[in-house]
A and B are shown apart, each in its own frame.
Chain A
Amino acid sequence: MMIPPALEAKADEYIGHYPPDRKRSAVLPLLHLLQHEFRFISDEAVEWVAQKLGIAKIDVLGVVTFYPGFRQTAPGKYHVRVCRTLSCAMAGSHQLMESLCAEADIDRSHADHHHPIAVSADGTFSIEFAECLASCGSGPVCMVEDDFYEKVDPTVEGARSLLNSYRHR
């Protein structure tokens, strides 16, 4: 794992946001930097964060495994999160999930609590349900990478036009 100098500089900046004897506070910001760079948190990434912050690897790993926002395996090129919670479900988020899976050729039948992410056959897209994304009045909502979409058309046509805007990048 090669850490780009810019990433390391950013990591040092984040560590500076906390008191010098409380470097451990920077574990989330550092993990975000690494996941952004490498797409998931590898064992080496855990090791790097532990060394950087002077804490045990298990303390970093415990954080990684707790938070749904961190993944330990590679997602697709574009990772999709569909809101599963009540207001969006009432607005059709389950249909949206099915349409996206059908359109992206993703088999979600093996997804469970510990393995929430399913990747498309060609690796272009991956998908998971997320809990309430705080936009309940404009459901169904989803995120593709950092982009946020409201009132998404939950039909296959809607899913296709959403995914096409990534396919043709």
Chain B
Amino acid sequence: MSIHYKPGKEPHPREHRLIFKNIDRADWDNGIDCYLRDGGYAMLQKAIGMEKAAITGEVKASGLRGRGGAGFPTGVKWGFISPTNTKPVYLICNADESEPGTFKDRYILHQDPHQLIEGMAIAALAVGAKVAYIYIREEFPHAATICEKAIEEARQRGFLGKNILGKEGFDLEIFVHRGAGAYICGEETGLIESLEGKRPYPRIKPPYFPAALGLYMCPTIVNNVESLCHVVHILRMGGAEYAKLGKPNNTGTRILCVSGDVQKPGYYEIQVGHLTMGEVINDLCGGLKPGRTLKAIIPGGSSSKILKAGETYKIKRGAEVVEMGLEELPMDFDTMAAAGTMAGSGGVIIMDDSRDIAWVLNNLNTFYAHESCGQCTPCREGSLWMKKISDRIVAGQASPEDVTTLESVAYQIDGKTICAFGEACSWPTEAIISKFRDELTSHTRPELADTPKNPVTEKAMASL
């Protein structure tokens, strides 16, 4: 069966579309009839004939690693639900999509909600959940309505509700829960607190691993939208066959979201590790803008450490270690980790030589200062402090020591906080300073060394 896409929206020949097969299809809408015509919900039917453990077994065999950011093996996570558990089990789909640079879940939610619902129903069957929530960011109001409508359609056709597709005891209700504009609700324990109706203060792990003590202190599986969609394809292909896509330990496809200084930014679903960074830029994205050279890349969402053009990395290939330049790096989890950064959420931000790195750093610092939940002192104070210092650097009001102070503040956050936001806000700063120290320092003025920092302004006095 050949699939037609809307003019100008055809996938690039080097893409391998599973999850995004239906995105931008010419003859496609997000209703259930369309999904069913295409063979939809057949994998739920298949799952119903399988043992619970066999479903998890297929997902384990597929090698699928979570697409939300941490890259944790999905099947292993599902296996954490204790077999002796007697409490209710919850499934949560993380549709908070808020890591800067990431824009993939949005398209699934708007254009292919039934793929997600089918994936969730299979996951719920495997982990024994009877209630599931889609936690969707507030800024996707239409997606929330679309998902609610899709859930209703699925219930009417017997794919949700009681005794699903005639299977005695397989009950599932899915509810949409809208967030309210806070990035920290993407962090799974912050999300859970938010869903409980509280401020989304992340919980400390251990002991609050969601699989043990999650929503309402019950075992809870939290998975990203894209991860849950992969489950449908794993059942269709079989775990072992799916694992042949991509590379060992980096299996399957994933959606790269490319933004910044390229000719054709956008979303591209590729086999993990089959394209290098250079191929992503030059083949998929049509290259840099005319006359520009590459300066730096943020490879996996704004929280991943920046990579600088001209750097070389020692990467293991089989038994040998090879030296590679930035553009030669294959885009997969293990290579990104070996290059000192992470594949994260798949958000690739490309910067060319027109970009001022101090301005980039300040933009990121501002994001994290705004989004810290404020629960731990190093993160609450440090994220604001970092923003204030880079405000000064950008304004030409900083002294060279400010760069050193900024670096030391970052290292005092990293590893000392309740949740991984601490790393998310300090890693970009640490990496940018270590790689672009001279450029940052060139914005500073030695004669400002003795000028008081943070002078008490009239505005601050007035608020005392």
Which residues of A are at the interface with B, using a C-beta cutoff of 8 A?
A: 17, 19, 22, 24-29, 31-32, 53, 55, 59, 62-63, 66-70, 81, 84-87, 89-90, 113, 130-139, 143, 146, 148
Flag if A136 contacts B178 (CB, 8 Å).
no
Give CA–CA (A136, B102) in the complex, Å.
7
A-B CB contact pairs (8 Å), 24 listed: A17-B175, A22-B196, A22-B216, A25-B195, A25-B197, A28-B179, A63-B197, A67-B181, A85-B363, A86-B349, A86-B363, A87-B259, A87-B260, A90-B260, A131-B370, A132-B100, A132-B183, A132-B302, A132-B367, A133-B139, A134-B98, A134-B102, A134-B103, A137-B265
* B265, B266, B351, B371, most chain A CB atoms within 10 A: B265
The residue on B at minimum CB distance from A88 is B259
Flag if A32 contacts B259 (CB, 8 Å).
no
What's the nearest-Cβ distance from chain B to residue A80, in Å?
A: 13
Flag if B138 contacts A66 (CB, 8 Å).
no
Give CA–CA (A85, B370) in the complex, Å.
11
Chain B residues with CB below 8 A from A85, complex form: 100, 302, 363, 367
Flag if B363 contacts A69 (CB, 8 Å).
no
Chain A residues with CB below 8 A from B142, complex form: 146, 148
Flag if B106 contacts A87 (CB, 8 Å).
no
Flag if B100 contacts A136 (CB, 8 Å).
yes
Residue from B101, B138, B139, B140 in contact with A136 in the complex, judged by beta carbons closer than 8 Å: B101
B360 at the interface (CB under 8 A from A): yes
Chain B residues with CB below 8 A from A90, complex form: 259-261, 351, 355
Residue from B194, B196, B259, B367 in contact with A131 in the complex, judged by beta carbons closer than 8 Å: B367
The residue on A at minimum CB distance from B201 is A66
Flag if A86 contacts B141 (CB, 8 Å).
no
What's the nearest-Cβ distance from chain B to residue A105, in Å?
A: 24
- Interface size class of chain B, counting residues whose CB lies under 8 Å from the partner chain: 35 or more
Residue from B180, B183, B197, B267 in contact with A53 in the complex, judged by beta carbons closer than 8 Å: B197
Flag if B302 contacts A86 (CB, 8 Å).
yes
The residue on B at minimum CB distance from A132 is B100
Q: Which residues between 125 and 179 of chain B lie within 8 Å of chain A, taking CB atoms?
A: 137-142, 175, 177-179
Chain B residues with CB below 8 A from A59, complex form: 197-198
What's the nearest-Cβ distance from chain A to residue B252, in Å?
A: 22
Give CA–CA (A154, B255) in the complex, Å.
28
Q: A24-B196, A25-B196, A86-B100 are in contact. Are A136 and B347 (CB under 8 A)?
A: yes
What's the nearest-Cβ distance from chain A to residue B230, in Å?
A: 19
B416 at the interface (CB under 8 A from A): no
Flag if A131 contacts B216 (CB, 8 Å).
no
B364 at the interface (CB under 8 A from A): yes
Flag if B138 contacts A69 (CB, 8 Å).
yes
| Interface pairs A-B: 6 shortest CB-CB | A69-B181, A69-B180, A67-B180, A24-B197, A87-B259, A136-B259
What's the nearest-Cβ distance from chain A to residue B287, in Å?
A: 16
Q: A136-B259, A146-B141 are in contact. Are A67 and B265 (CB under 8 A)?
A: no
User: 18 extra interchain contacts, Cβ-Cβ under 8 A, other than A28-B180, A86-B364?
Assistant: A17-B177, A28-B197, A55-B197, A68-B182, A68-B370, A69-B179, A69-B181, A86-B260, A87-B100, A87-B260, A87-B349, A113-B370, A131-B98, A132-B183, A134-B97, A136-B103, A137-B267, A143-B139
What's the nearest-Cβ distance from chain B to residue A82, in Å?
A: 12
The residue on A at minimum CB distance from B142 is A146
Give CA–CA (A32, B349) in the complex, Å.
33
Flag if B197 contacts A130 (CB, 8 Å).
no
What's the nearest-Cβ distance from chain A to residue B219, in Å?
A: 15
Q: A90-B260, A143-B139 are in contact. Are A66 and B200 (CB under 8 A)?
A: yes
Flag if A63 contacts B183 (CB, 8 Å).
no
Flag if B181 contacts A136 (CB, 8 Å).
no
What's the nearest-Cβ distance from chain B to residue A17, in Å?
A: 4
Flag if B198 contacts A63 (CB, 8 Å).
yes
Chain B residues with CB below 8 A from A22, complex form: 196-197, 216
The 0/1 profile, CB within 8 Å of A marked 1, for residues 300-313 of chain B is: 00100000000000
Give CA–CA (A90, B355) in the complex, Å.
8
Give CA–CA (A29, B148) in the complex, Å.
13
Give CA–CA (A29, B144) in the complex, Å.
12
Give CA–CA (A29, B98) in the complex, Å.
19
